[in-house]
């Protein structure tokens, strides 16, 4: 409570109302209303300083994110931004424009200058020149080992990891990624994206972001039609790489939430003949 009072005091505000509005296994979120009419979100949990850093990194890009006011070890205070539900077709097109602009930003190498997190899990980001090497070692195999898979499923992933060049080109260019874009992390209002939240940033193949957006929503036909107009998607994405890249978030979900996602993971491996 003292940390929150100090953060609000530094903003020159006074709290008049507090209400819990969200959270999960590793964080809680409160709405903070100030006497001057401002509304803030106070998020408590581990790794809040890192989340604040990721949001500030994205704040310098075309992707809208909440403004960060305080980022401590266990407290993040930012502007409260409210959405109106899932993206409609206009919102999907706007999301495509924002992500195409984000993915077009010039960056060097894969990974990042520091490790990040996805959910509560560490996301290793050693700078790597080749995307196949990075995806194989720091995403696919790393998270498969974290997920404590049955031996036969782990063997299938090991075999798939040895033939990634069948699916992924050697000349993939790096893009800055939000890293955890699903329906719950894109806030929309009036057919526009007003904010992306809960980032898990790193530099990787833009297609892994597009794939993740189809696993739990919100990307559908309107999104991909507009994105293709701005950044053509390589042949083979919808046939193969969408499934390949979605192995990573599925492994994250197996690790975080248990074997309920294992069947979907195995079905995805079946489609890849992995």
Catalytic entry in 6, 88, 165, 180: 180
Q: What is the mean pLDDT of the chain?
A: 95
- Backbone phi and psi for residue 8, each to the nearest 5 degrees, phi listed first: -70, -40
The mean pLDDT of 229-249, rounded to a whole number, is: 97
Rounded mean pLDDT, 59-72 = 97
Residues 189 and 226 reside in one and the same domain = yes
Per residue in 53-74, is it b (16+ CB within 10 Å) or e — as a string?
A: bbbebbeebebbbbebbbbeee
Do 24 and 157 lie in one domain? The reply is no
Q: Average pLDDT, stretch 190-195?
A: 96
Does residue 13 carry a pLDDT above 90? no
Q: How confident is the model at residue 180 (pLDDT cuts 50, 70, 90)?
A: very high
| Interhelix angle 206-215/242-257, nearest 10 degrees | 60
State residue 33 phi and psi, 5-degree precision.
Answer: -100, 130
Structural domain includes residue 84: no
Indicate which CATH number applies to the domain containing 245: 3.90.1200.10
What the block records as the tokens of 67 is 């403004």
Is 147 within the bounds of a domain? Answer: yes
**Residues 100 and 199 both lie in one domain:** yes
Quote the pLDDT of residue 1: 62
Domain total in the chain: 2
Clarify whether residues 144 and 264 are in a common domain.
yes
* Dihedral of alpha carbons 84, 81, 180, 203, sign: positive
Question: Does one domain contain both 66 and 95?
Answer: no
Mark whether 176 and 199 lie in a shared domain: yes
Same domain, 54 and 128: no
What is the reported pLDDT for 230? 98
Query: At which of 45, 79, 113 does a domain end?
Result: 79
Q: Report if residue 49 sits inside a domain.
A: yes
Determine the structural domain holding residue 111 and report its residue range: 89-272
> Is 258 domain-assigned?
yes
Q: What is the mean pLDDT of residues 208-223?
A: 95
Q: Would the pTM count as exceeding 0.85?
A: yes
User: Quick one: pLDDT at residue 8?
Assistant: 87
**Residues 65-78: what's their mean pLDDT?**
96
- Nearest of 164, 130, 128, 141 to residue 248 by alpha carbon: 141
pLDDT of residue 35: 95
Is 6 among the residues known to form the active site? no
My answer on whether 37 and 130 are in the same domain is: no
């Amino acid at each position: 409570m003292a940390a929150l009072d100090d953060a609000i005091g530094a903003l020159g505000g006074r709290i008049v109302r507090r209400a819990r509005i969200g959270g999960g296994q590793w964080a809680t979120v409160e709405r903070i209303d100030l006497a001057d009419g401002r509304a803030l979100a106070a998020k408590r949990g581990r790794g809040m300083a890192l989340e604040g850093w990721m949001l500030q990194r994205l704040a310098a890009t075309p992707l809208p994110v909440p403004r960060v006011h305080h980022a401590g070890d266990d407290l993040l205070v930012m502007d409260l931004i409210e959405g109106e539900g899932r993206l409609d077709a206009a919102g999907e097109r706007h999301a495509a424009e924002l992500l195409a602009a984000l993915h077009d930003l010039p960056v060097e190498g894969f990974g990042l200058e520091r490790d990040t997190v996805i959910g509560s899990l560490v996301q290793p980001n050693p700078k790597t020149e080749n995307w196949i090497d990075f995806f194989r070692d720091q995403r696919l195999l790393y998270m498969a080992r974290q997920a404590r898979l049955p031996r036969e499923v782990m063997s299938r992933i090991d075999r798939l990891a040895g033939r990634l060049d069948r699916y992924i080109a050697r000349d993939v260019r790096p893009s800055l990624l939000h890293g955890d874009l699903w329906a719950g992390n894109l806030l929309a209002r009036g057919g526009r994206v007003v904010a992306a939240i809960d980032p898990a940033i790193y530099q990787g193949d833009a297609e892994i972001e597009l794939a993740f957006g189809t696993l739990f929503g919100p990307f559908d036909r309107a999104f991909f039609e507009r994105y293709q107009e701005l950044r053509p998607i390589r042949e083979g994405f919808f046939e193969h790489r969408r499934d390949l890249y979605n192995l990573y978030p599925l492994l994250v979900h197996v690790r975080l939430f248990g074997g309920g996602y294992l069947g979907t993971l195995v079905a995805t491996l079946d489609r890849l003949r992995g």
